[in-house]
Structure 1
């Protein structure tokens, strides 16, 4: 009896689309995040270009789910699934503004929050503000000195930092920070922004340099008018979301800041925590734009001149979020300890949930160094195609560049050959060769070393000898040595014996 055929079954175990960083970014319209049969089902995209993802509870590798846009839905069951998996959910507006952030729930101590609320009256707020801005100015000084190569601006920032210990109010700290920021961003104005050659005709003039940090549309950094400022705004938004998660994980209220004023719909403490790592983000951008070009298709310009990021490009930038989260973690713990120190009788030492510093200290192990953010995509300087990390041109553009370079080198060579010095060297060489030919005696040549012996015994073996060896043995140029090896030229008989020794013929020739 023949075996009955079985119906094809759908494989529910699918390879996770989550990258090594653990970040999954959703873009487009009609975004759906819901639960189905114990799996997290995700759908995003635009038009017919839709993507469907199905994640099981085990082996997914998801740490952060970043949603760019506000068209769609996220079910409560999906949020519960993310919480159970210790994954964070971040919702960003299309201009990079943080709309919502949820993360793993941590126990909160009322004493710590009360100490945070009373920070200004206890005096710890001023100490925290000084330290945060001191770290920020120190990092900005290094960026100005090492990345922007502007020692004057770096010295100016250092001078402002010296004034911080004597600042007697939060207002004074803000004033010092604003003065340093004015000097810092002035050094960025002329930073060139490179694009592939094929994109140059579609670029506005203000896209070719960093320009001002303040947007003419808003009088603030919001609504950037060129790509580098748009990238910075988006990276800062990612850092703000990570700072909010860090504050919540430490049991702090993200909205009660010490440096930033209380503002509706802003997490002031999260903005405080990210101040020291802003320069790290700036350094990442400088390294990017100074070594690799941006692509025009990564950005689009609205009718009012606002520069926005395309969804696919924003998704790649979102992969840097874990890096900023690790950078802000020790800062959040230090701020929490500063609040905790104002409590008269704390029950237990404050837990270091983000860095596990207490456990490492007990075990005698050091904290691991911060990892670098993922490298941006390397593109061709000519056409903008993706190329290998160590390459600057694709195969097609490399051929064209090499051809132009060879033509330029040949042109320079022709010009150099007609100079007085070059002609003098040629004349001296010709005189030396003619003198050697006149002084050479045919009787000194071995009897066996005839023209026929050279053609049959020496010439065929020269193909195994390098051009530099031939040129050195008989005192000719590499070009002339190449012609000799190919048989296009036959050297003067006085050179035959040296060539015979070079190819390894015995004194009497081959028998």
Structure 2
């Protein structure tokens, strides 16, 4: 079920160089920092947030103390798709709400504990007959079909996550067996009994997943933060009041997903509160929670793949006095960039549910609109159906020791990698020194030196051509050796590769007995 109490109050210690690319801090502190959307999303937090319209431009402003951030967006080329406000300290003008609606941009307001307070999206014409059919979904059988399909998709996604991300084929097979029972159920209550059984098996497979932090943060990291224990919090007995970072991230992303499901329902003319699987509650949008079930495994896979590849920074989280783990504003802003991905994943599910409900009334058009995916419009124009997207937001790659941001495919920064690399080089050098002084190595060196002295004694200067002098070698042969490969020189002279490199670059002059072989290699004289 939906659990959304996660987002912490904005940190008063946030610095302008926090790594969040949404806000660009100028050098002059008297000038408000520039705010720009990233992936179509802007998140407002802090105190005194303001959203208003000034001379046809949308003006957004937030911040804490002297760190103020301001954005100014025109009606064309603004790139804004979602405006997320965390907290209730500030103002939003009616003109700003209309500006967002005119530009097809959505507005989402979250409480500081992560609860979804309000969502608004583009105003669409709706059909009251569709909502009436939704109210009668339990009598028409649509509620049962929708519930079974949504849970079937959820269990299929959980099976995929366990198999691909956790490599636990035993649990994956068990979830598959539980999922197969959905084909035989006949009531919604039976569906409600199948889903918790799979959930217990699914979250048990997560137990023991390590949660990594940079080494410098480990002294400040509680022991129970370092691995995933259970989905249920020890503080509440449910997913609410998360006690570790992973559950906090999951709860926050579920809150964003719930907001997107609300917006999808409003766009399609459905009632987000009139659920088919979740029981009706005055404080919950049950149908939005129904649609969430099919997308939850995608959120789980995104979080699981992230924590198994990258460490989490201690500064991203705040632990309250009761042990509740909350997200700090910087991480919440980064995670909010995923809203467009969840919106595209929700769209086909919401449209399918609408078609199922619309099929129970004869007055509805035979072909339902696809306002979210625009698939009907693409089909008419000969285009292809848009595939389901993957989460494109990638968290920054961080050093495992100090937590600073580094380039992709690296595990530590240059400063932190200097000490272990020096230790490795020293250890390898010590092993090489030992290996080079073994009786076998000394015997090989003695044999090679003996062969070298024998070859020098056997060589006679009278065997050398008269034209092959030292002056000829230095003026004619040495400049041309630079064009030859060191491997070819070593093969021709039967010397080591390192010695051939020295000859090629003119750092050493080889013994005169080698000059004739080099002249042959260079095809001299001509």
Q: TM-score range by the shorter chain?
A: 0.7 to 0.9
Structure 1 residues 221-370: aligned runs within 5 Å: 221-370=239-388
Q: CA deviation at 1:484?
A: 5.6
Q: Which residue of 2 aligns with 1:424?
A: 440
Deviations 1:24-43 (A, max 9, x none): 11111221222333332221
Structure 1 residues 178-193: aligned runs within 5 Å: 178-193=196-211
Q: Which residue of 2 aligns with 1:149?
A: 167
Unaligned ranges ≥5, structure 1: 1-13
Alignment check: 8 A CA contact 2:50 2:62 kept: yes
Q: Go from structure 1 to structure 2 and tell me whether the alpha carbon gap of 1:498 and 1:200 turns closer, same or farther (over 3 Å shift).
A: farther
State the alpha-carbon separation in 2 of the partners of residues 223 and 492 from structure 1.
Answer: 81
Q: Which residue of 1 aligns with 2:413?
A: 394
Deviations 1:428-447 (A, max 9, x none): 46425524643662138524
Q: Which residue of 2 aligns with 1:410?
A: 429
Alignment check: 8 A CA contact 2:47 2:62 kept: yes
Instruction: Say which SS state the counterpart of residue 351 (structure 1) adopts.
Output: coil
Alignment check: 8 A CA contact 1:16 1:55 kept: no
Confirm or deny that 1:172 pairs with 2:190.
Answer: yes
Confirm or deny that 1:442 pairs with 2:479.
Answer: no
Q: Go from structure 1 to structure 2 and tell me whether the alpha carbon gap of 1:335 and 1:407 turns closer, same or farther (over 3 Å shift).
A: same
**Structure 1 range deviating more: 252-261 or 368-377:** 368-377
Q: Which residue of 2 aligns with 1:213?
A: 231
Deviations 1:385-437 (A, max 9, x none): 22333444434345445434433432443454456xxx536634642552464
Confirm or deny that 1:127 pairs with 2:160.
Answer: no
Structure 1 residues 472-511: aligned runs within 5 Å: 472-481=491-500, 494-502=513-521, 504=522, 506-507=524-525
Q: Which residue of 2 aligns with 1:96?
A: 114
Q: Go from structure 1 to structure 2 and tell me whether the alpha carbon gap of 1:208 and 1:485 turns closer, same or farther (over 3 Å shift).
A: farther
Instruction: Say which SS state the counterpart of residue 236 (structure 2) adopts.
Output: coil
Q: CA deviation at 1:47?
A: 1.2
**Structure 1 range deviating more: 37-46 or 145-154:** 37-46
**TM-score normalised to structure 1 length:** 0.87
Q: Give RMSD over aligned pairs.
A: 2.9
Deviations 1:334-386 (A, max 9, x none): 00111111113424532111111222222332112234322222223332222
Alignment check: 8 A CA contact 1:250 1:336 kept: yes
Q: Go from structure 1 to structure 2 and tell me whether the alpha carbon gap of 1:54 and 1:224 turns closer, same or farther (over 3 Å shift).
A: same
Deviations 1:197-250 (A, max 9, x none): 322232222222233222111111222222222111111111111111011111
Confirm or deny that 1:77 pairs with 2:126.
Answer: no
Instruction: Say which SS state the counterpart of residue 199 (structure 1) adopts.
Output: helix
State the alpha-carbon separation in 2 of the partners of residues 196 and 479 from structure 1.
Answer: 42
Q: Which residue of 2 aligns with 1:376?
A: 395
Q: CA deviation at 1:275?
A: 1.2
Count residues in correspondence: 491
Structure number with greater CO (CA < 8 Å, separation at least 6) is 2
